[in-house]
Chains A and B, each alone.
Chain A
Amino acid sequence: MIEDSLWLITSIIVIIILLIVFPVMHTMEKQDDLVQIQLINEVNLFLHDVKTKGKITRVDYEQLNAKLARLGNYFEVKIEHQKRLFAPIYDDPLNANTFSGKISTVYDLITDQEIVEALYKTGSSTGVYYLNRGDFVTISVNSTLKSKFDRMRDIILLTSSDTPSFFVRLSGMVAHEAY
């Protein structure tokens, strides 16, 4: 009798898992796939925009954040600007007569914090950050919260990972200065 009850309980648990948990997980996994695709599309569009215009406006930046917020997670957007600079090469840097006639290209890294500060600078009505042709811009976006699918999987498999559920990083060179 006890054995029969155990079989019954087990069968109920299995039925719940098969009829409720798996379909829900499957739907959440599909949702994650769509979010990841949409995330790549949005970042790609933003990067194309920056590469083509040579500038980041406050409006564009806020629109990107708004679009990402609609994806149902919290996202951290990081923009890095590698500003191209040309430095003359002197055989002896202290002697102006030793200019070799050559130059070297160096990239000055401007962090996300500096870019956001420039966009929201007090007194700035325009909120535009300018880049030059030949500069590189890198945009990385990662989710700060775990997706529902990841949380559910962690519970079922008794695991825990620090990897963000969604992540994308794209980089490109500024092609035009449309300003």
Chain B
Amino acid sequence: MKLINYGLIGIMVLSAIFFTENMTVAALKTTQYQTQYYQLVLSHAAEDAANAIKTSATNDVNKERSLKIEQPHLAVEAFITSLANSLSMTSKGDMIWLSNFIPYIVMVDNSGYYIYAVSPGEESGYQYQRKLLPRIDFMHKIDDYYIFLDDAPTIKIMHRQGGQWQVNYRSLADWLDIIDNTAVKDFLSAPNYKRRIAQLKLRQLESDLSDIVNLHNQYAHERGLFYDFAIEPIAGKWTGVVERPTIIAALQGMPLANNQVFDQVVAHYASVIREEKYYGFVYNGVKYYASLDQLPVSLHLTDNVFFNPQDAAKKGYYPYE
């Protein structure tokens, strides 16, 4: 029987080890599950915000298009509402608690960006005021010249002349003809100009986001939340975010099981939908519909506006060619 006794004692010891290990695995599993769930919720929120982004397009003579974000607050609202709904945090108190974990929401377009974050030096009651900061343009400074970094072929440059700031829009070729500053000329005429401005945009964005995260961490410490979080360098990796309208948002310090926290940065392209309108008009006694660029110049626009050719045809209008 002694063998059984020793065997049982051995099994008890092994069972204790097994239980301890099993508890660790269970905690890790919960953490992993929560992480995947937050990732899913965050991706839905980013997608919703991206869908809420409205853009306006500026066409130039070369038919190249620079897209600009309009009404950025809609994207912020969509992001927070989606996140709060998924996490069952729809009361005002819950929303404030949740916002502690969102250091920033950024909406980037071809020429600049909007940041929704804690505003420095402003407090509203016990909370720092989170707000949509004024639009920031991508720009690069050389001597007294501020070159606005945009994808449009018409380049905006602000420079100091005769003690006053002047803003001019010109094509690249025109700027190269008239500008006398060698450094600016070299910058504009560099063969890798397009790639260079993409890198400069990313660097500017990264620098601003870094400042915002630092401010948020400082704010969080004052509120009793102790975590440090820094976004990984985005320059060179996320070139896509400055190529078309995009939303970037972060969730940091969300508590998980096992004393872990969830930190994640998410980016989602905005879906750019071209909303074409069709105008109904009467020409030689026949009802026609046409888009704005096909419309005969001599005709005045009518009140018959359609959002697709099917609707126009249903009202008896023929396509105008």
Residues of A within 8 A of B (CB): 4, 7-8, 10-11, 14, 18, 33, 36, 40, 44, 47, 51, 82, 105, 134, 136, 138, 168-173, 175
Q: Are A14 and B11 in contact (CB under 8 A)?
A: yes
Chief secondary structure at chain B's binding surface = helix
Q: A18-B15, A40-B40 are in contact. Are A4 and B271 (CB under 8 A)?
A: no
State the CA gap A7–B3 with chains docked (Å). 11
Most chain B CB within a 10 A radius of its CB, from A51, A134, A171: A171
Q: Are B86 and A170 in contact (CB under 8 A)?
A: yes
Q: Are A170 and B41 in contact (CB under 8 A)?
A: yes
Q: Are A14 and B8 in contact (CB under 8 A)?
A: yes
Q: Are A172 and B44 in contact (CB under 8 A)?
A: yes
**Which of A7, A33, A82, A105 contacts B5, CB < 8 Å?**
A7
Q: Are B11 and A18 in contact (CB under 8 A)?
A: yes
State the CA gap A11–B9 with chains docked (Å). 10
State the CA gap A136–B45 with chains docked (Å). 11
State the CA gap A40–B52 with chains docked (Å). 25
Q: Are B4 and A8 in contact (CB under 8 A)?
A: yes
Q: Are B82 and A173 in contact (CB under 8 A)?
A: yes
On chain A, the residues within 8 Å of B44 by CB distance are 47, 170-172
State the CA gap A168–B44 with chains docked (Å). 14
Q: A36-B33, A171-B82, A171-B85 are in contact. Are A7 and B52 (CB under 8 A)?
A: no
Q: Are B4 and A170 in contact (CB under 8 A)?
A: no
Min distance, Cβ B17 to any Cβ of chain A, angstroms: 13
Number of CB contacts from chain A to chain B under 8 A: 64
**Which of A7, A10, A170 contacts B40, CB < 8 Å?**
A170
On chain A, the residues within 8 Å of B78 by CB distance are 173
Q: Are A7 and B82 in contact (CB under 8 A)?
A: no
**Which of A7, A51, A169 contacts B88, CB < 8 Å?**
A169
On chain B, the residues within 8 Å of A82 by CB distance are 81, 85
Closest residue of chain A to B47 (Cβ to Cβ) is A172
Residues of B within 8 A of A (CB): 1, 4-5, 7-8, 11-12, 15, 29, 33, 36-37, 40-41, 44, 47-48, 51-52, 77-78, 81-82, 85-88, 271
Q: Are B29 and A138 in contact (CB under 8 A)?
A: no
Q: Are B33 and A171 in contact (CB under 8 A)?
A: no
On chain A, the residues within 8 Å of B33 by CB distance are 36
State the CA gap A168–B87 with chains docked (Å). 10
Q: Are B8 and A136 in contact (CB under 8 A)?
A: no
Min distance, Cβ A131 to any Cβ of chain B, angstroms: 13
Q: Are A171 and B86 in contact (CB under 8 A)?
A: yes
On chain B, the residues within 8 Å of A44 by CB distance are 40
State the CA gap A145–B40 with chains docked (Å). 26
**Which of B8, B11, B37, B81 contacts A7, CB < 8 Å?**
B8
Min distance, Cβ A165 to any Cβ of chain B, angstroms: 13
Q: Are A11 and B41 in contact (CB under 8 A)?
A: no
Q: Are B88 and A4 in contact (CB under 8 A)?
A: no
Q: A10-B8, A18-B11, A169-B88 are in contact. Are A33 and B29 (CB under 8 A)?
A: yes
Min distance, Cβ B254 to any Cβ of chain A, angstroms: 15
On chain B, the residues within 8 Å of A169 by CB distance are 86-88
State the CA gap A8–B7 with chains docked (Å). 11
On chain B, the residues within 8 Å of A172 by CB distance are 44, 47-48, 82, 86
6 pairs of A and B residues whose beta carbons are closest in the complex: A171-B85, A173-B48, A175-B51, A171-B86, A172-B44, A4-B1
State the CA gap A58–B52 with chains docked (Å). 28
State the CA gap A18–B29 with chains docked (Å). 22
Min distance, Cβ A155 to any Cβ of chain B, angstroms: 17
State the CA gap A10–B5 with chains docked (Å). 10
Most chain A CB within a 10 A radius of its CB, from B5, B52, B78, B86: B86
Q: A169-B88, A170-B44, A175-B51 are in contact. Are A11 and B37 (CB under 8 A)?
A: no
Q: Are A7 and B4 in contact (CB under 8 A)?
A: yes
State the CA gap A34–B15 with chains docked (Å). 26
State the CA gap A170–B42 with chains docked (Å). 10
Min distance, Cβ A138 to any Cβ of chain B, angstroms: 5
Closest residue of chain A to B37 (Cβ to Cβ) is A40
On chain B, the residues within 8 Å of A8 by CB distance are 1, 4
Supplied contacts A40-B37, A171-B85, A175-B47, 15 more A-B pairs, CB within 8 Å = A7-B1, A7-B8, A10-B8, A11-B4, A18-B11, A33-B29, A40-B40, A44-B40, A134-B52, A169-B86, A170-B86, A173-B51, A173-B78, A173-B81, A173-B82
